[in-house]
Structure 1
Amino acid sequence: MKKDEAYDRGRAMRFDMFGEPGVAGIEQADDFQEPLQDMVTRLCFGDIWSRPGLDRKTRSMLTIALIIGQSRPDQLKNHIKGAIANGVTKEEIREILVHATIYVGLPATSDSWRHAREALIDAGAY
């Protein structure tokens, strides 16, 4: 993996948001998984998450809403923990869930409520 400024920014942000587990995937990636870890580190966190137009808290809130809409529980749990690190509160996460329930629909969000609660408990924010 070629390291550059975007890579370094992305790795640092992944560590800030998710701690050691957030960078473990980078360290443990084999030659098959390396392209994914590179894209996540460099493009997702090094470029998109690092853009100046929105702060990290706002990006976390948007990401949670989008992931709820996609019904991706593992990603939701992970990003709720990252959102807590970015200053999003339990109450704000609850409001995102309420809002998403109306706009995305009950079947897609009912599991998200449970997964969000588990993630908040795991993060010590419940």
Structure 2
Amino acid sequence: MHLLVVEDDDIVRMLIVEVLDELGYAAIEADSAAAALKIIEDPTQPLALLMTDVGLPDLRGEELAAKARESRPNLPVLFASGYAESFNVPPGMHLIGKPFSIDQLRDKVLEILGPP
């Protein structure tokens, strides 16, 4: 399963991708919403999940998710936010609060997708 990880902080993105790889998922990285949209809009790119930071520099995570759903209406979305308590999760989407542990990330992805 291919998971798209959108995070502008290089270290955080690298750690998330490493954890997902260790769990058996194939993680694809994007450091901005613009880079993510190029991947999302490529019909040859399989994607099982979009995991995005809420606070991206070029587009809010909710806006990225809405654009992603235009071309991939059934794509599951997982938001990561340091302000989880004040974030309103759009219907049919998921949230994990930052900072999160490896176990919390694993459990949340398994809850959404099941095992790889």
Q: Where on the TM-score scale, by shorter chain, does this alignment land: which range?
A: 0.3 to 0.5
Q: Which has the higher helix share?
A: 1
Q: Which has the higher strand share?
A: 2
Using structure 2 for the length normalisation, give the TM-score.
Answer: 0.37
